[in-house]
Amino acid sequence: MPAKKLNLRKRYELLTRGMGWETTHHDMDDVFPYDSFEGIKITDWDKWEDPFRLTMDAYWKFQAEKEKKLYAVIDSFAQNNGQTNLSDASYLSAIKLFITGVTPIEYAAHRGFAHLGRHFRGDGARVACQMQAIDELRHQQTQVHTISHYNKHFNGLHDPFYQFDRVWYLSVPKSFAEDAMTAGPFEFITSISFAFEYVLTNMLFVPFMSGAAYNGDMATVTFGFSAQSDESRHMTLGLEIIKFMLEQHEDNLPIVQRWMDKHFWRAYRLLALVSAMQDYMLTNSPLSWKEAWDVYFVENGGALFEDLSRYGLRMPKYHELATAEADHLSHQVWSVFCLLGNATGFHTFLPTEEKMDWLSEKYPDTFDKYYRPRFEHWAKQKEEGTFKYLEALPQLCQVCQIPMIFTEVETDPMQLSFRASEYKGDKYNTCSDGCKDIFDHEPEKYAQAWLPVHQIFQGNCGGATIPEVLEWYKFAPEDGGDYIGSQDHARWQEWKGTDKKVKEA
């Protein structure tokens, strides 16, 4: 038996507080130049405490254990041709969107937290950020390792990082991550750890990983849950940093509230992509977007903000609109992907009859009334051979960078929502009050946005025609378009010897 162990609190103190010191050769403000310009006032960094009291030595031990378990599953998945146990190969569109849209955000978060792990003055906060920096790198790596197995058998998984910096719909997650990374450290951590990880990450990982389990994708379940165990620690860090800022000085409240409002909306808009993954791309969905929103945001987020109300923090602005949009979001997003399916790196497909009935059941107030007609119209056109992809490019929101497909759900769900601002004599279009507020507060930041449609028209994306742009994206001709009739589809039929959907038709 080892010598008597120190208690957790004592160990934590020694291994964090004991690792830092007041500098004497250089002024502390020169050593930590970034943690004061945002206006957040910290009077006592020692009040910072990690509720998990995780120290680096324990961190390595547990992370090593998680990795061993994960890689054992990945190996066995590959050896046993686990890809053949999927519910359907069309499910992989969700994985293609994940590896191109989410995995690079993990890497961006790694970079951001590595910066914070150096630049926060408090040693407790620095250690927590260092661990998170390593976690995020681990997530990116394990996702690449896991999904690389699918890359051996399916199209569209070959260049996620290259594409992240170029592709029209990937500018949505990219701009979200870079918005946070180009802010100061306190705003970054409010954005990533609190608004994204605490308030909204459950919407991404929990239903999605449970969805992977529901669709026979054991590889994704495993990396997802392995990452999620770190995520719980990140969420706790997010809540802790908010409480810490609010407890340190009353002047911090309005700053934190504004960041909360902004980054809640930014993160929520990013999750519009996830809503489509959840409701449409998963062959079998365990939980609809709306159900997940009700459980993880309305109920759970409500409890969180009630708890934080003692500091004067209120629910993020426009949360009511986000809740009202829950009945519409996934349908609007999947519609535009289907219309631009000739320019996606994953396959699109119309919902089957079975799926539409499920959507009617989950969205009794909206699906049949507003959305079923378009899918039925397109299905009829496909049958007749008259379906056409959009020939023009859509208007983009200056802030979230999503095509401006959102509608006035509270007053007229079939009316597009248009907002605009002026800055230095130019016009800037936004999709919602949430995005417009963000633009109006920092117009000089968002005037710099690299909007894919505008960049194509400026001649910066390989050419003026769709094939030229797709080549510049490194989208191979077989990566996008309809799932039915694709190489992925043919391969799947070959393995299965039959095809459920074709048989039904």
Partner 1 sequence: MSNKKNTVFLIVQDNEDARPIIEAVERDNPEANIQYQPGMVRMEAAGRLIVNRETVEEEIGREWDVQELHLVLVSLAGNVDEDEDKFELSWH
Partner 2 sequence: MAVIAKDGYVDIVRDKVENFHGNQLVHVCWDDHLLFSAAQAFPLPPEMPFQALVSEVMTPVFSYHPDFEKIDWAAVEWMLDGEAFTPEMDKSLKDNGVCHKSLIRFKTPGLMGINGTRL
> Where do contacts with partner 1 occur on this chain (CB under 8 A)?
5, 7-9, 51-54, 58, 62, 65-66, 69, 201-202, 205-206, 209-214, 221, 225, 228-229, 231-233, 235-236, 239, 286, 299-300, 302-304, 306-307, 309-310
| Residue 286 interacting entry, from partner 1, partner 2, none, C-beta within 5 to 8 Å by type | partner 1
Nearest CB to partner 2, comparing residues 313 and 396:
396
Cα–Cα distance for residue pair 350/353, rounded to 1 Å: 9
Cα–Cα distance for residue pair 288/157, rounded to 1 Å: 26
Tell me which residue of 406, 407, 401 sits closest to 439, measured CA to CA.
401
State the CB neighbour count (10 A cutoff) for residue 4: 6
Cα–Cα distance for residue pair 198/313, rounded to 1 Å: 15
Nearest CB to partner 1, comparing residues 51 and 467:
51
| Residue 57 interacting entry, from partner 1, partner 2, none, C-beta within 5 to 8 Å by type | none
Write out the H or E segment, with its range, that includes residue 423: strand 419-423
Distance of closest approach, residue 355 Cβ to partner 2, in angstroms: 19
| Residue 394 interacting entry, from partner 1, partner 2, none, C-beta within 5 to 8 Å by type | partner 2
Which residues 6+ apart lie within 8 Å of 324 measured at CB? 409, 410
Distance of closest approach, residue 489 Cβ to partner 2, in angstroms: 25
Distance of closest approach, residue 323 Cβ to partner 1, in angstroms: 17
Distance of closest approach, residue 398 Cβ to partner 2, in angstroms: 9
Nearest CB to partner 2, comparing residues 184 and 211:
184
Nearest CB to partner 2, comparing residues 15 and 451:
451
Cα–Cα distance for residue pair 110/275, rounded to 1 Å: 25
For the chain, the maximum distance between any two Cα atoms, rounded to a whole number of angstroms, is 78
Cβ atoms 401, 428 nearer than 8 A: no
Cα–Cα distance for residue pair 423/276, rounded to 1 Å: 33
Distance of closest approach, residue 60 Cβ to partner 1, in angstroms: 12
DSSP class of residue 396 equals B
| Residue 393 interacting entry, from partner 1, partner 2, none, C-beta within 5 to 8 Å by type | partner 2
Nearest CB to partner 2, comparing residues 149 and 269:
269
Q: Which residues bind partner 2 (CB under 8 A)?
A: 33-34, 37-39, 184, 332, 335-336, 339, 373-374, 377, 388, 390-396, 403-405, 407, 414-416, 418, 420, 424, 426-429, 440-442, 444-445, 447-451, 453-454, 457-459
Nearest CB to partner 2, comparing residues 159 and 325:
325
Distance of closest approach, residue 147 Cβ to partner 1, in angstroms: 18
Distance of closest approach, residue 34 Cβ to partner 2, in angstroms: 7
Write out the H or E segment, with its range, that includes residue 426: strand 426-430
Cα–Cα distance for residue pair 207/276, rounded to 1 Å: 12
Nearest CB to partner 2, comparing residues 16 and 332:
332
Pairing of the two strands 407-408 and 419-423: unpaired
Nearest CB to partner 2, comparing residues 11 and 317:
317
- The burial class, CB within 10 Å (0-12 / 13-18 / 19+), for 450 is middle
